[in-house]
Structure 1
């Protein structure tokens, strides 16, 4: 009977390992999605900053065009500037919340790794990174004994 239990445990173990690997992969992809969303929103914040810096010194009564829902609308700088600033502030708040979610997800992944004793193999990645960095940092050097 004990041999049957141990073989049953062995059969369930690979399934559990596969399930754990699937959950871990899902968690990592969620982390990557958060990273990409933060990057995307950072780009939007920088675009908003460019617009603010461009129209701030202008006369408040000057014509200004703004895209609203795919429609280009004519407004004045006085009307558009506060709206762009509010949008930028809202984006910054969303980025702050996403950063909090990112830290929470990192902790969750770290706890999951400890609980299930997950170790990531970095040998292949380090070798690839070394090749990439080496090729990006190449220096062109002429002959050492060159006399002019």
Structure 2
């Protein structure tokens, strides 16, 4: 098993176990959040988690793109030709015949992890939408937009008002 395949399996199992623990923890909590600050904090954590999933998907898609470039570059070459491959931080000399299948397997593994992350992303989006609906969460707009909207929607149902998620996390 190549180091990248091992990493992908380890990484995907950690992500799955993380989300499983989160799901079990949220099911075991029978208490409803008590105040708006707790709700806002929970919502912020959910948004942060969503952003982390997005960034991991983007990172892995870049790796898939790099794998595709390598495959396209070495596929038309003579299979007995020498090439070099980085394995665990060590550059090793191999032939294209040995390297090409390994790179293709790694690319397929990355694509599987991306598919799982996309499924998790969709579940998390649904969970956030349900949370927003349950607690009537509205996203605070910028000052100019907020003035226009507040004059239109005075007297609407109360809910939790949350600022935009910061992208610095």
Q: TM-score, with normalisation over the residues of structure 2?
A: 0.64
- Identify which of 101, 117, 126 aligns with 1:107: 126
Q: Distance in 2 between matches of 1:109 and 1:64?
A: 48
Q: Does 1:58 find its partner at 2:58?
A: no
1:66 is paired with a residue of what secondary structure? strand
SS of the aligned residue for 1:25 comes to helix
Distance 2:125 2:144 in 1: 20
Structure 1 unmatched runs, 5+: 1-14, 128-148
Q: Does 1:87 align with 2:106?
A: yes
Q: Could you say which structure has the greater relative contact order, defined with CA pairs below 8 angstroms and 6 or more residues apart?
A: 2
After the TM superposition, which parts of structure 1 deviate over 6 Å for at least 4 consecutive aligned residues?
A: none
Change (3 A) 1:96 1:125: farther
The alignment's TM-score, normalised by the length of structure 1, stands at 0.73
C-alpha displacement of 1:25? 0.2
- Which is higher, the Rg of structure 1 or of structure 2? 1
Distance of 1:120 and 1:106 partners within structure 2: 15
How many equivalent pairs are there? 114
CA RMSD, Structure 1 to Structure 2 (Å)? 1.9
Distance in 2 (CA, whole Å) between partners of 1:107 and 1:124 is 28
| Structure ranking higher in helix proportion | 1
